[in-house]
Structure 1
Amino acid sequence: MQAVVLAAGEGTRIRPLSDSLPKPMLPVADRPLAAHTADAAAQAGADELVFVVGYEADAVRDYFGEEYAGIPVRYAVQESQAGTADAVRAAREHLDGEFAVLNGDNLYDADAIADLFAAGPSVGAVRVEDPSNYGVLSTEGDAVTDIVEKPADPPTDLANTGAYVFPAAAREWLDVPESERGEHEITDVLARTVEEFEVSAVELDRWLDVGRPWELLAANEWKLAELDREIRGDVHGDADLRGDVVVEEGATVDAAVVVEGPALIRSGASVGPNAYVRGATLVGEDAKVGHGVEVKNSVLGRGTHVAHLSYVGDSVLGRNVNFGAGTNVANLRHDDQPVKLTVKGERVSTGRRKFGVVAGDGAKTGINTSLNAGVTLSAGATTAPGEVVTRDR
């Protein structure tokens, strides 16, 4: 089974985190998001991976190389953002039989992907409370009869997860016309497949579409919870590591530090004396958590520094961010309503009672900065010492 992994999207809804790094390469526990997709495909029995790449393609190529998880890797370039069918069409020259299509910015349960592969032609589905926000599958028994995009009156509660197994014949059906959105949709290829073949709906036990910053936080919560305790770095004898904590070789944990798992402290990272790291937290490669800092349920990107006496909760910080000493993040509204965040210019509910801030690569705060819940700092943004930030910067 060939598995096509779609990794060319610009990730506009997750900006500024994707401004200089493709969304599928954003960190989820110990590897990029797309690597979890690739791992699920490999564990399910894929014998070749075909990555469809776009902007910043070198980041994907450099990570996956010519072989990943013991299976060969090939690449196809999507020249324009013209939809999912267009992305798969870019890989058409590499396809020579039945093939799977998986989104490189989704998390899948590996056993469910194995079921999907075994049932091909097939489409992955999850049951949701409000199907009107998804593409919804109509079924007779386990067979798919139709798919309807965001219906006002959903025929079922089965949402399309964007995971497919297509027959070899579908290779010739990728030249679909533009949809009303001006894109070439893979669901139109699925509709043709339903006409010609019996397509099975395979329910996935767990699935996450990582499209917005708080979903990257959820992805890390999922994958950090799967880690087993492993201490290979330099941990001071007075440090207290509780539960499933991973300290990679080359990481340093100083005296009087408390780390509550699940937590991952990556190679080259350091946690200074008297710091408190609470799960689920990822401290990225070469990141630094200073003296007396508290970090809770957050993602700190590669090379990011949180200086002494700061608090970061329920937040996502990109690469090479610098929070000056005494920077404090608010992560709870006084009215107890879900925190809102700006997505593509609109304030959108995160659905989370607790959510802090998002900081793009290279953002910097002055000492004693206060950041309001739901604030976004764009890449390279700065604050003045003592500033109270209540609006996006």
Structure 2
Amino acid sequence: MVKTMNVQAIIPAAGLGTRLRPLTLTMPKALVPVAGKPMIVHIIDELVKSGIRDYVIIVGFLGNVLEDYLKAKYPKLTLKFVYQKKMGGTAQAVYLAEPYIKNPCLIIYGDTMIKGDLTPGLAFGSDMVLGTKFIDDPRPFGTVERENERIARLVEKPNYIKRSEVLVGIYTVKNYKLMFQCIKELMDNKIRFKNEFYLTHALQIMLEKGASAETFQIEDWYDCGNFNTLLETNRKILESKRRFKVPVFKDGCIIIPPVSIGSDVKMSSSIVGPYASIGDNVSIENSIVSDSIVSDGCKVANSVVEKSALGREALLLGKPVKAFLGDKSQLGE
């Protein structure tokens, strides 16, 4: 077994997050808030619980914003930021960390939010340990295919629909030197899928070279790839952290759990919740807000907000909406 304190984490977080625009026009995808804190903070907090202190984070668009935020948030962690100048896929992103990895590593994508015991994945009984979950439609994901219980192959985005064991975007790799060799081989031979180099294919090359592999089941796995899944993840995380079950009456407002409410929030004559995540310095007046994410500095007045995500300092006045607004947007007068 490898001591967790010697494990390094690689977090590819350079994606543009195009399916979360307009929120991601002015913030890195990894900083999009869900259930009260940015995606990547959920991830790092979970890894810190497992004792991981050393991180290599791959950044891209607005990478300086992400770097500044995380350095301020985690001053006691070892953080190295590497810039991915051109999007070339998950394998290329991981390969950028190669000069800084000196120990077995854990790889987790910057939008892969998980909850559960990571100890089985960190036991390092094999060259690589793959976090997996069984789902009914594996087509958007990498899939584990077995023969006689043994992992036979890894298939990226299969074309079949049946209950399958899929890769959830978390991997622990003991034989990290072989992994980087296989990624280099993948790129040297220009083995692309949809014009990108996939980590799944590099791990498949490892299998073909005789690397040992096993899987461990992830208890909860949250996807934040688009607005529907972002709001679904917001609901699930809030539900998992529910502290009370009955509505609370406070200062002329009704708060219906589960909710997350930040600091310096001003509310009057409003109903907030269920499944509302309210950021810091938000003002809500004479409004109903449910099943929504309201970012820092927003002002909502005389509105009904449902199944929405509002960017930082958005202004919503007198409108019933199901909308996704970017930073400093205004709707209504």
Q: Is the structural similarity TM-score above 0.5?
A: yes
Aligned position for 1:108: 114
Cα gap change, 1:107/1:69 in structure 2, threshold over 3 Å: closer, same or farther? farther
| Equivalent in the alignment of 1:19 | 25
State the 1:141 CA deviation: 5.8
Amino acid at match of 1:159: V
Cross-structure match for 1:128: 135
Partner SS, residue 100 of structure 1 = strand
Unaligned runs of 5+ in 1: 230-240, 246-252, 330-355, 368-393
CA separation of 1:205 and 1:254: change in aligned 2, threshold 3 A: closer
CA distance in 2, matches of 1:242, 1:127: 31
- Counterpart for residue 287 of structure 2: 293
Q: How does 1:345-356 map to 2 (within 5 A)?
A: 356=322
CA apart distance, 1:284: 0.9
**Is 1:281 the equivalent of 2:247?**
no
Structure 1 pair 293–27 and aligned structure 2 pair: CA distance change class (3 A)? same
Give 1:244 shift: 8.8
Once the 2 structures are TM-superposed, how far is the Cα of residue 71 of structure 1 from its aligned partner?
Answer: 3.5
- Tell me if structure 1 keeps the 8 A contact 2:136–2:163: no
- 1:240-259 to 2 correspondences below 5 Å: 243=246, 255-259=251-255
What is the SS of the residue equivalent to 1:18? Answer: helix
Q: Please state how far the C-alpha of 1:144 moved relative to its aligned partner.
A: 2.2
Greater helix share, 1 or 2?
2
Give the C-alpha shift of residue 18 in structure 1.
0.6
181, 186, 193: which is aligned to 1:172? 181
Compared CA separation, residues 153 and 278, structure 1 to 2 (3 A): closer
Q: Select the residue among 211, 226, 232 that pairs with 1:218.
A: 232
Q: Is the 8 A contact 1:137 1:155 kept in 2?
A: no
Residues 66, 73 of structure 1: 8 Å contact kept: no
CA distance in 1: counterparts of 2:77 and 2:119, whole angstroms: 16
Q: In the superposition, relative to structure 1, how do residues 173 and 263 fare at CA in structure 2: closer, same or farther (>3 Å)?
A: same
Instruction: List structure 1 runs of 4+ shifted beyond 4 angstroms.
Output: 241-245
- Greater Cα shift, 66-75 or 28-37: 66-75
Distance 1:116 1:143, change over 3 A: farther
The amino acid of 1:362's aligned partner reads K
Aligned to 2:263: 267
Indicate the residue corresponding to 1:87 in structure 2. 93
2:199 is matched with which residue: 169, 182, 186?
186
The alignment's TM-score, normalised by the length of structure 2, stands at 0.88
Alignment counterpart, residue 327 of structure 1, candidates 319, 322, 327: 319
- 1:51–1:73 CA contact under 8 A, matched in 2: yes
**CA 1:69 to 1:206, structure 2 compared with 1: closer, same or farther past 3 Å?**
farther
Higher mean displacement: 5-14 or 214-223: 214-223
Residues 187/242 of structure 1: CA separation in 2 closer, same or farther (3 Å cut): closer
Q: Is the 8 A contact 2:247 2:255 kept in 1?
A: no
Give the total of aligned pairs.
Answer: 318
Does the 8 Å CA contact 2:298/2:312 hold for their aligned counterparts?
yes
Question: SS of the counterpart of 2:296?
Answer: coil
The TM-score, its normalising length taken from structure 1, stands at 0.75
Structure 1 residues 60 and 8, CA gap change in structure 2 (3 angstroms): same
Measure how far apart 1:104 and its partner are.
Answer: 0.9
Q: Distance in 1 between matches of 2:47 and 2:59?
A: 17
Mapped contact 2:116–2:219 kept (Cα < 8 A): no
Shift of 1:6: 1.2
Matched, 1:366 2:302: no
CA shift, 1:255, in A, is 2.5
Displacement of 1:25 in angstroms is: 0.6
Contact kept, 8 Å, 1:321 with 1:362, in 2: the verdict is: yes
Paired position in structure 2 for 1:384 = none
Following superposition, the deviation at residue 275 of structure 1 comes to 0.6
Partner secondary structure for residue 328 of structure 2: coil
CA distance in 1: counterparts of 2:199 and 2:121, whole angstroms: 17
More relative contact order, 1 or 2 (CA 8 Å, 6+ apart): 2
* Distance (whole Å) between structure 2 residues aligned to residue 67 and residue 100 of structure 1: 21
Residue identity over aligned pairs, in percent, reads 26
| Cα distance in structure 1, aligned partners of 2:120 and 2:303 | 46
Tell me the secondary structure at the aligned position of residue 123 of structure 2: helix
Q: Matched residues in 1 for 2:75 and 2:228: separation?
A: 29
Asked whether 1:318 is paired with 2:311, we answer yes
